[in-house]
């Protein structure tokens, strides 16, 4: 057994959040801080800490600045060993900033991106230490890689 | 049995509603509510509403025995999370029901799960519903994920 790690798990709402929750068994034995856009999601994660950030689209410039500041503040306070995200934009910033702060980063592109990676998913490649797609057809030798999906399907 | 039919918030899906409505005509013993979206077509046999507010949607979803919908990830997850059997008809881009054929790929990915029936054409909806109503257990996302993705991420975290 290795030491207990601190993980920041970050996503936007809806399907991205559901997929992030599906990854929870992978976090077992470690300390997880969840970061998402909706206070109501607290109900899904028991006693784990939740930090709420602003919900933005990539066209909302002021919102992008604010959410970037929020995520930076959270990551500076939490100092996670690992950042994991299922998208979309908040996760993109989380991985980007976290990488610069020395965390190991994981990007799992959403199952909903069937025929091509999300825009965030394409651009995040160089910043993700573990860069995954949930579709074998989208895997490339240099990443993203495919090992399975959040439903538990075999590679 | 209580069935909730939903086409989602964005686009109508008359092909699905028509197929379900024909089935309802032959099965008046079931209570069916169809959320049909912004369309001029009206079901003749199923109860219908254009849209459901989130609270109403959750209540209808929670109390339905069976869900019928398009093959969107959100709809599939919503059913699986609640352990509800679901029949999906994928939208087709050739029919201008969506921009691309991602729902066909999604349906293929989910087809093998218990409690999920895919109707590949509108003609398959009636038989699919008959089959689904006999289904006992359905796949539920309430259970824990396992498999290679979880193992890979766990190993990565352990070595971080």
Contact A124, A113 (CB under 8 A): no
Polymer length of chain A: 155
- Segment B92-136, tens digit of pLDDT: 999 999 877 878 988 987 888 888 999 999 999 999 999 988 876
Question: Residue B158 and residue A104: Cβ atoms within 8 Å?
Answer: no
CA trace torsion B86, B82, A26, A132 (10° rounding): 40
Question: Residue B153 and residue A84: Cβ atoms within 8 Å?
Answer: yes
Q: Searching chain A, which residue's CA lies closest to the CA of residue B149?
A: A148
Per-position DSSP letters for B22-42, written without gaps between them: HHHHH-TTSEEEEE--S-S--
Reduced to 3 states (helix: H, G, I; strand: E, B; else coil), residue A55 is coil
Left, alpha or beta for B8 (phi > 0: left; psi -120 to 50: alpha)? left
* CATH number, position B145: 3.40.50.2000
More confident: B137 or B147: B147
Q: Searching chain A, which residue's CA lies closest to the CA of residue B80?
A: A151
- Per the structure, how many domains does chain B have? 1
B 66-95 residues with CB < 8 A to A: 73-74, 77, 81
Cα A132 off chain centre by: 11
Give the helix, strand, coil percentages of chain B, each rounded to 5: 45, 15, 40
The mean per-residue pLDDT over the stretch B4-11 comes to: 89
Question: Residue A153 and residue B109: Cβ atoms within 8 Å?
Answer: yes
Q: How far is B83 from chain A (nearest CA, A)?
A: 14
Q: What's the pLDDT at B136?
A: 64
Q: How far is A149 from chain B (nearest CA, A)?
A: 6
* Helix ranges, B89-147 (H): 102-110, 125-134
Q: Searching chain A, which residue's CA lies closest to the CA of residue B158?
A: A2
Q: What's the pLDDT at A136?
A: 87
User: Rounded CA gap, B61 and B33, in Å?
Assistant: 10
Q: What's the pLDDT at A153?
A: 56
Q: Per-residue confidence at B142, pLDDT binned at 50, 70, 90?
A: low
Question: Residue A148 and residue B152: Cβ atoms within 8 Å?
Answer: yes
Q: Searching chain A, which residue's CA lies closest to the CA of residue B106?
A: A114
Q: How far is A93 from chain B (nearest CA, A)?
A: 20
Tokens representing B69 are 């919908």
Q: What's the pLDDT at B111?
A: 87
Going from the N-terminus, what domains does chain A have, and what CATH number goes with each?
A: 6-146 (3.40.50.2000)
The mean per-residue pLDDT over the stretch B71-100 comes to: 88
User: Rounded CA gap, A90 and A111, in Å?
Assistant: 17
Question: Residue B154 and residue A25: Cβ atoms within 8 Å?
Answer: yes
User: Rounded CA gap, B145 and A149, in Å?
Assistant: 9
Separation in Å, CA A142 to CA A24, A105, A115, A130, A155: 26, 16, 18, 11, 17
Polymer length of chain B: 160
Q: How far is A139 from chain B (nearest CA, A)?
A: 14
A 111-130 residues with CB < 8 A to B: 111-112, 114-115, 129-130
- Segment B13-49, tens digit of pLDDT: 999 999 999 999 999 999 999 999 999 999 999 999 9
User: Rounded CA gap, B143 and A135, in Å?
Assistant: 22
Q: For residue B114, what are the domain limits?
A: 2-159
A 26-85 residues with CB < 8 A to B: 26-28, 30, 81-82, 84
Question: Residue B156 and residue A28: Cβ atoms within 8 Å?
Answer: no
ipTM topping 0.90:
yes
Question: Residue A111 and residue B109: Cβ atoms within 8 Å?
Answer: yes
Q: String of b and e for B144-155 (b: at least 16 CB within 10 Å)?
A: ebebebbebbbe
Q: What's the pLDDT at A97?
A: 97
Q: Is the pLDDT of residue B137 over 70?
A: no
Q: What is the pLDDT along chain A (155 residues), one digit of tens a residue?
A: 568 999 999 998 877 888 899 899 999 999 999 999 988 888 889 999 999 999 887 788 899 999 999 999 999 999 999 999 998 899 999 999 999 999 999 999 988 776 667 778 889 999 999 999 998 888 999 999 999 988 775 44
């Amino acid at each position: 057994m290795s030491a207990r790690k601190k993980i920041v798990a970050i996503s936007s709402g809806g399907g991205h959040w559901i997929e992030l929750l599906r990854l929870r068994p992978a976090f077992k034995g470690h300390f997880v801080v969840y970061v998402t856009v909706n206070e109501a999601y607290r109900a899904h994660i028991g006693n784990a800490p939740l930090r709420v950030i602003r919900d933005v689209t990539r066209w909302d410039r002021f919102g992008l600045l604010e959410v970037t500041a929020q995520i930076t503040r959270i990551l500076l306070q939490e100092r996670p060993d690992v950042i994991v995200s299922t998208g979309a934009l908040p996760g993109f910033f989380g991985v980007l900033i976290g990488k610069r702060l020395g965390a190991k980063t994981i990007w799992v592109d959403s199952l909903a991106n069937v025929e091509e990676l999300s825009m965030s998913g394409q651009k995040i490649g160089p910043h993700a230490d573990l860069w995954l797609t949930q579709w074998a057809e989208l895997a490339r030798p240099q990443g993203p890689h495919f090992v399975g999906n959040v439903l538990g399907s075999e590679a | 049995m209580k069935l909730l039919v939903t086409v989602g918030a964005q686009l109508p899906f008359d092909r699905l509603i028509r197929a379900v409505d024909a089935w309802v005509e032959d099965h008046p013993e079931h209570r069916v509510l169809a959320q049909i979206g912004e369309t001029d077509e009206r079901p003749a046999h199923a109860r219908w509403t254009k849209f459901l507010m989130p609270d109403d949607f959750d209540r209808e979803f929670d109390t339905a025995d069976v869900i019928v919908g398009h093959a969107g990830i959100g709809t599939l997850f919503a059913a699986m999370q609640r352990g509800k059997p679901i029949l999906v008809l994928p939208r087709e881009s050739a029919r201008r029901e969506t921009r691309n054929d991602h729902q066909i790929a999604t349906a293929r990915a989910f087809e093998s799960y218990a409690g999920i029936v895919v109707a590949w054409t509108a003609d398959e909806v009636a038989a699919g519903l008959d089959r689904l109503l006999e289904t006992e257990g359905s796949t539920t996302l309430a259970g824990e994920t396992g498999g290679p993705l979880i193992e890979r991420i766990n190993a990565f975290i352990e070595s971080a």
